[in-house]
Amino acid sequence: MVGGNAIRGTRVGAGPSGESERGESAPRRRVSYWCANGHEARPSFSMDAEVPEEWDCPRCGLPGGQNEQSPPAAPRTEPYKTHLAYVKERRSDADGEAILAEALERLRLRRELI
């Protein structure tokens, strides 16, 4: 049995397309960006648009610059820190032992009351 969907195989907005339907496209220019791995990306920009200094490489994700001989350096990534690492940055071992002793004392007092 044939389905009853008359617009099967089309998408919303589909139809004759072209400059007569959409109007003329803005004049464009392509700009080359190179990443540290030597990949070239060539996005297109409107002639009126401001061209950014850097563009992320679509192949490896590194930042790319317009100078092929000296592309921007890869950003330095900080290693993942656990919650404990952040606590140790703020507190000394002596502080940690004092806080632990205080918490254990409160726990013992609560158990005595039960």
Check whether 60 is labelled as a binding-site residue.
yes
**73: helix, strand or coil:** coil
- Report the alpha-carbon distance of residue 84 to residue 62 in Å, rounded: 31
Check whether 83 is labelled as a binding-site residue.
no
**63: helix, strand or coil:** strand
How far is CA 54 from its chain centroid?
Answer: 15
Check whether 70 is labelled as a binding-site residue.
no
β-strand partners of 34: 40, 65
Identify whether the C-beta of residue 42 lies closer than 8 Å to the C-beta of residue 57. no
Which segments are annotated as binding site for Zn(2+)? 35, 39, 57, 60
Binding residues: 35, 39, 57, 60
